[in-house]
Structure formats: structure tokens, C-alpha cells
A and B are shown apart, each in its own frame.
Chain A
Amino acid sequence: MLLRNLSFRYKLPFCIILASTLTASVAIMVVSWQYYQDNKQALIQHSHELGGSMVDMLSWSVKNNDIWHAYTLLRGDKKNALSTPIRALILLDNQKTVFASNHPNEFPVGATLSDIATGPNQYLNNALKIFDTHKETTLSTDKHLISALPVTSSGISYGSLLIIDSYDSIVALFKKTSLLALFVVLLTICALIPVAWLWGKHITNPLLSLESCISKVGKVPFDEIQCATTYDNDEIGQLGRQFESMVSELKKKSELENQIIRADRLATAGTLAAGVAHEINNPLAGMLMAVDTYKQYCRSEDCHHRDQARASIDLVERGLAQIKETVSALLVNVNAKDKPLTPIEIEDVFTLVMPKTHNKSITFEWNNGIHNTINISASPVRQVLINLLLNAIEATAPNGSISSHIHTEKNTLIITIKNDGDEMTAEQLEHLFEPFYTTKQSGNGLGLWVTYQIVRNLGGSISVGRIGTWTIFDIILPITSKDITE
């Protein structure tokens, strides 16, 4: 479980070392075991060869009752005399008594086999079983290998030679070999560690780089996602290229969305144009009347009714101002620039939308709680507001009501748009923010989708609900700490 959560940076070298260690361990065990078996076989063979080479001489020793001669044969090198022999050699005569041995203190001259098969030498009782076979015999006990060779010459039996090997020597050799192998393996693994470490780094570096790139998705604009790593042709390289391809596609999609949002903004401007035209037309009629009035009072350069003329001019001025204000509100909407949101711009929205409500005699409750500039991009907020208000107007029956509340709370801008139109069905709610989904004959189905994309791009949230007779859209947008260039 711990390994699952571990980075490949560590997991890969660890697995390499682990696999190497396991492989080496198994190899050591197999080789060592084979070595042990081979040694055991070699020991048996050597015992028989040694015994066979001594039989004639030992026969002579027994025949001539020359204990010393037999002893020197069994002892071998004089330097061995005072050390405990690894291999016990016991020459027994036909009475099963020790004629000579290479370890006289343990197997004294004249002792019977039964005499010496006591204490730690109890295993020698087994030798009694093979003693009378008169042929080369080998018996293996837990810790000893006992070989019995008949000592004969010219067909006459002079006794038997017992050769006792302790497995201790083979086990010691086995341990020594295993330890040596283990030591070599450990050294190799020690040498392998930096290699595995570097390899792990080589494998995981592109992965980490890719992960770093992927983590930027959704946090920074696609343009800023740059994976500098060059990719190989392996799976990681392919993954990197696929990712870059995906980022490229996402970038195109994002651009397309932006284009749609831009188009939507222009379309909105068109939608608003009729109301705006009306707003312009109204003052124009008043202004024309004012001009007529002015003409009546000031036919010549001499104006007899200066006050009335002046009032007419004032009327024209107010009408132009109103036109200017309306056109400005519309131009702002068309020429979107990234700048902070001001209270006036929110009021512009009211100016632009308000005429549409007149057509349906809708009661429009407008509550702008923004009194200062807010550090949030103005253009998208305006677009959201306009879209939602136009949507509310569309959804509201004649003589109905809509309401708009805008205020800040902590570090968020909260927009609440309500209308008392018909309640949306579950299917409508489900597909509400999907593109090209519309219940209207004239709509293109992009308005709410664009609204949703803008809110998402601004890092905010949009929700729709129904309270009483009101359909309510709630938008919460974070106020960024990032400077927005004006």
C-alpha cells in the first residue's frame, strides 16, 4: 500500500533493487545448494579413494602388528598430529577393536567399536550395521558420513577401515561460499543503486515534467502551458505528445468559445439595438419639437423670446445627452476592453435592458449595490448580466416582474436575477447550460451556455433555482487580487 503511494522516482529504483536482490538470492540458494550436494558427493568419492589407497599398506601394518606404521598412514602429515582431524580414520582389526586411528585420544588403540560409540560418538553405533558387509559401504547420519572399507590383502581380511567425515566442514564451506556470494551480490547491488537511481530519474523526469504541465490545465491560460521537455519515442514520449496535442485542441476550443462569447456580445448588442433605437428616437422627437419651438421664437437673429429659446436649447441638450448616454452604453458593450468594473457600467446595463421591459410592461426592480470600482473584469460581468436579464425578460410574461440585485460580499460579487415566468421543467433545467439548447423559436441556444462559460472562466459559479413563483439565477464571482489593466 505504501509502495502504491510512492513516487516512481523512488519506486522504480526500489523495485529494480528488490528484483535484483530476489533474483540474486534465488541464484545464490540454487548454486550454493548444488555446491553443497557436489561437495557431499565429492567427499564420499574422496573417502573411498583415500581408503582404497591405504588398504594395502594398512593390511601390511595389521599383518606385521605395526601400530606406528598404521598410525602414520592414518595421520598423514606430522603437522596434523596435535590437531583434531576433520576426517576421522579408524582402523579396526577383525576383533572389531581399534588397531590404530588418526585421533588416538578419542579412538584409543585396543578399544572396541562399542567402547568408542558412546557420548558424542554414539552415531558410530550405526557403523556396526555396515561393519560386516565386507564391501565398501557408505552410511549417512544427521551430521556424519561413515564409510567402511574392508582391509584385505590377497583375499585375507585384516579388518576394516572406518572413514568418518563430519558434514560440519561441508556446511562451513557452504556457509563460506554463500556468504562470499552474498557479499559479492551486495557489492553489486550497492553499485546498482546509483545506476537504478539515475535510471529512475531518467524515467520519471519526463513524467514529472508532464505532470507539472498537466497540473497547469485549468489554472493558467492554455497559451501559458509550455512543456519544454523533448519527448522520446517511448510510451512516456507518446503520452507527452498526446498531451500537447490535447492542449492544442483545448486551446482551439477555448479560442472558439471566446469567439462565440464575442459573437454573443455583438448579438446581444443587436438585440438591444431596437430598445436603444427607441431610446434614441424618444429624445429625437422631443429635440425636433424643441428645434421647431426655437425656430418660432428665433426666426431672425433677434430672438424675442429668449427664455423659451433657451429652454428649447436645453431640451435639445438633454436629449443629446440622453442619446449619448444610451449610445455609450451600447458602444461599451460592443468594444469590450478589459478594465475594472465600475458602478456606472452596471448602470449602463440597466440603461440598455430597461427599454426591453417596456415592450412587455414588465416591472423591473433594479438594485445596484455597487458603489465603488471592483477588481473584476467589467466586460464579461456586463455580458453575464445582460444575458441573464434578457433571458429573464424573455421568460417573463407581459406585466410580469423581474428583479436584479447586485452586491459584494466578502471577496465575491453576487448577482441575483429573478423572474416570475413559468417554472422550468426538469429537462429544461438539465440542459439549461448546454450550447444550442433553446425552448424559444428565435433563440440560438447559446445565451446561457455563454453565460456559463464566462462564469466558469472567471472562476465563479452559477446556479438556478425556484423559490415560490420566482425563478432565480445566482451568480457568485470571485473578486480577483490580480490587477486589471484599464
Chain B
Amino acid sequence: MFKYLWGEVLKGVLRNKCANTLLLFICLFSITPLFASDPTLTQKKPIRIGITSVILDQKQQFLETWKAYFEARLNQPVEFVQRDSYGKITSHLLKGELDFGWICGYPYVQHQSLLNLVATPLFKGKPLYQSYLIVAKTDTETHSINDLKNTVFAYSDPDSNSGYLYAQYSLRKNDINPESFFSQTFFTWQHENTVEAVAVGLAKAGQIDSYIWESMKQQNNPFIKKTRIAHKSEPFGFPPLVATKTISPQLQKSIQHILLSMRNNAQGRRLLEQLNIDGFKITNKELYDDILKMHLFIEKQKHAAS
């Protein structure tokens, strides 16, 4: 059962790292009346957590556990809001329709004045991850994105650092226009889909989140076996859990406390293990400066071109 949950959760996380992270963090904050003994719990306003749809579609049981975990500690109901892209989650956060969201570093740096950093997951002991350029295992000639001229390329999500921004930046810093460099590009909307697109030959290559790729590999995902990493980026800040500026500092602190203390109890460790992360850490916005720089570089180029 434990193994199943772990696998299921991990698979969900892999689909969209930022959204997954958001979802899981939001879970941590959630308290619903389902498992609470306090009858007043149902009368309180639920904490709304934005996540990507994929996770909730397939990981309902895991999320119920997380809800129970957080609701028991917050004495407040939790509500998950599922959407199918980073963009929609970010949009809901900005409109105040969500309290928390697990988003990618790229939308965070674009809207950091409107969002608070709550916590950052620790992957392999650090709050960092990379962007991988992946190709089919049979492709032994590609070693960088520059080798992919006139090919079909798969991006994960236009609001993803590792699945879009970094690829754009890699080309543009070499004065290559990504719009004309590839013969075809498309978005798969989830990192896991990018792996499939490359594995089945729909795209020659794709750019994805290292955390997703490594976790899929750990799961012996069949698509991963058909791909290889052609290039790894420098490390970036791991997708954070963010909160809107409108939530109370007390609630944010409570959430931070619960997240940071997860490593200290068995249930929390089990949930962390299922997420394939080591824990959470409070980080500052400077962790995402590299992503911000890439964003600004591209914006500048686009502006210059227009």
C-alpha cells in the first residue's frame, strides 16, 4: 500500500513539477472536516490550494492523506483546486482565487512582487534542480540544443523554467531565434508528456525538469528507458510553494512550520518519501535570480526584435 501510494504520488509529481509541488504544499496546509473531530471545522473557510489537474485525477487517495495530515494540524478545511497548466494556477493566485500554489520558479520570478515564498522542497538535500535536454536513446549524435536545427522540439509548459525558459535562453544567448530554429515545436503541458513525446518519436528532443526525469527513472518508467539526457543545465531554485500576499502571516507561518517539521514525524517522512523529496526549507527570492535573469534576457531580446 505504501509502495503504491509512493509510486502514484511520485508519478503525479513527475507530470508537472511546479504544479505538483504546489499541490502537495497546498495539501499540507489543508484541513478538512473529513477527519477532524471538531465540528466547528466544517464551518471555517477552507484553505484553497492550486494544483495541476493531473495529480488529482490519479492521486486522489494520496491527496486525501495529505489533506488529513494538514487539516489535523491546522484545524481548518483544505480545498484543492486543480487546473491543467502552470499559467492557470498562477492566474488564479494573482486573482486571489487561491491562497497557496505550487508553481514553477519562472512564473514566480515574473510575479514575485505579488507572491510570498512559503517554502522550497529539498531535492537530493538541496533546494535545487536542473533542466535536462532529452533525446531518444537511439540518438547518439545530439549533445546540445544547438544540434537540433530543423527538428521537431517538445517544450513542457510555456510557464516552466526547466521545460521552456531555459531552452529559449540557451538558443537566444547564442543569437539563435527559437521560432525559426526548429521545424516544429509544441507544448506537452506536462514534463512527463515530454518524455513520452521524445520516447515515441513525436519530437526529436525535449526540455524537462531533472526532478521529474530522475523520479521517473527511479520508478522504471518505460518511456524513460527510451530516452537519454543529452545535456544538463546549471542548477536553479526548485519550484517553490508560494502564497498570495493576502493571506495572514500567521497562517503562512503555520504552514511553514508544518512543512519544515514533516521530516520530524513518521507520517510526514512517509509523505515526503512518496514525493521523492527530502523535506522543505525556507528560502529567499535570491535563489531564483538566475531564472529571473534568463527571463529578463529573453524579454529584452523580444522587445529589441519587436
Interface residues of A (CB under 8 A from B): 65-68, 71, 78, 81-82, 100, 104-105, 108-110
Does B281 belong to the interface (CB within 8 Å)?
no
Task: Give 3 closest A-B pairs by Cβ, nearest first.
Answer: A67-B186, A105-B201, A104-B201
Given A68-B189, A109-B184, 19 extra CB contacts under 8 A: A66-B187, A67-B186, A67-B202, A68-B187, A68-B193, A68-B202, A71-B202, A78-B196, A81-B196, A81-B199, A82-B199, A82-B200, A82-B223, A82-B226, A100-B202, A104-B202, A105-B201, A109-B203, A110-B184
Q: How far is the CA of A68 from the CA of B193 in the complex (A)?
A: 9
Q: A68 vs B155: C-alpha distance in the bound complex, in angstroms? A: 10
Interface string of B187-213 (1 = CB under 8 A from A): 111000100110111110000000000
A302-B193 Cα distance, complex, nearest whole Å:
166
Interface string of B159-185 (1 = CB under 8 A from A): 000000000000000000000000110
**A-chain residues with CB within 8 Å of residue B193 when the two chains form the complex:** 68
Asked whether B154 is an interface residue with its Cβ less than 8 Å from the other chain, the reply is yes
Q: Is B235 among interface residues, defined by CB-CB distance under 8 A?
A: no
A121 to nearest B CB, angstroms? 15
Return B129 CB to nearest CB of chain A, in Å: 23
Q: Within residues 272 to 290 of chain B, which ones have a CB less than 8 A from any CB in chain A? A: none
Q: Is the CB of B197 within 8 A of A68?
A: yes
Bound Cα distance A110, B186 (Å): 12
**Bound-complex Cα distance A109 to B182 (A):** 12
Residues of A within 8 A of B186 (CB): 65-68
Q: Would you list 25 pairs from A and B whose C-beta atoms are within 8 A, ordered by A residue?
A: A65-B186, A66-B186, A67-B152, A67-B186, A68-B186, A68-B187, A68-B188, A68-B193, A68-B197, A68-B202, A71-B197, A78-B196, A81-B196, A81-B199, A81-B223, A82-B199, A82-B222, A82-B226, A104-B202, A105-B201, A109-B152, A109-B202, A109-B203, A110-B183, A110-B184
List chain B residues, Cβ under 8 A from A71.
197, 202
C-alpha spacing A81/B223, complex, angstroms = 9
Residues of A within 8 A of B184 (CB): 67, 109-110
| Residue ID in chain B nearest A61 by CB atoms | B186
Query: What is the interface residue range for chain B against chain A?
Result: 10 to 19
- Nearest chain B CB to A3 CB, angstrom units: 61
**CB pair A68 B154 closer than 8 Å:** yes
User: Which A residues are in CB contact (< 8 Å) with B189?
Assistant: 68
| Complexed CA–CA distance, A67 and B204 (Å) | 13
B155 (CB) vs chain A CBs: closest residue: A68
- Mask for B120-145, Cβ within 8 A of A = 1, else 0? 00000000000000000000000000
CB neighbours (8 Å) of A104 from chain B are 200-202
A104 to B200, CA, bound (A): 6
Task: Report Cα–Cα, A67/B200, bound state, in Å.
Answer: 13
CB distance from B100 to the nearest CB of A (A): 28
Are B201 and A108 interface neighbours, CB within 8 A? Answer: yes
Beta-carbon contact of A105 and B200 below 8 Å: yes
**A28 vs B235: C-alpha distance when bound (angstroms):** 68
CB-contact partner of B152 in A65, A105, A110, under 8 A: A110
**Residue on B nearest A107 in the bound complex, by CB:** B201
A81 and B183 contacting across the interface, CB-CB below 8 Å: no
Contacts of A66 in B (CB 8 A): 186-187
A104→B188 CA distance, assembly (Å) = 15
Contacts of B200 in A (CB 8 A): 81-82, 104-105
Tell me the bound Cα distance from A395 to B178 in angstroms: 142
| Distance of A68 Cα from B203 Cα, bound (Å) | 10
**Residue among B154, B196, B199, B222 having the largest count of chain A Cβ atoms under 10 Å:** B196
Expressed in whole angstroms, the Cα–Cα distance for A78 and B196 within the complex equals: 9
Which residues in B have their C-beta under 8 angstroms from that of A110?
152, 183-184
Query: A361 vs B193: C-alpha distance in the bound complex, in angstroms?
Result: 140
From B186, which residue of chain A is reached at the shortest CB distance? A67
Name the A residues within 8 Å of B183 (CB-CB).
110
- The listed residue with most A CB atoms (<10 A of its CB), out of B193, B197, B226, is B197
Chain A residue at minimum C-beta to C-beta distance from B136: A105
Residues of the A chain whose Cβ atoms lie less than 8 Å from the Cβ of B222:
82
List of B residues within 8 angstroms of A68 by Cβ = 154, 186-189, 193, 197, 202
For B154, list chain A residues within 8 Å (CB): 68
Could you tell me the distance between the alpha carbons of A466 and B213 in the complex, rounded to whole angstroms? Answer: 124
The distance in angstroms between the C-alpha atoms of A82 and B199, with both chains bound, is 8
Question: Which residue of A is nearest B187, CB measured?
Answer: A68
User: What chain A residues lie within 8 Å of B187 (beta carbons)?
Assistant: 66, 68
Chain B residues with Cβ below 8 Å from A67 are: 152, 184, 186, 202
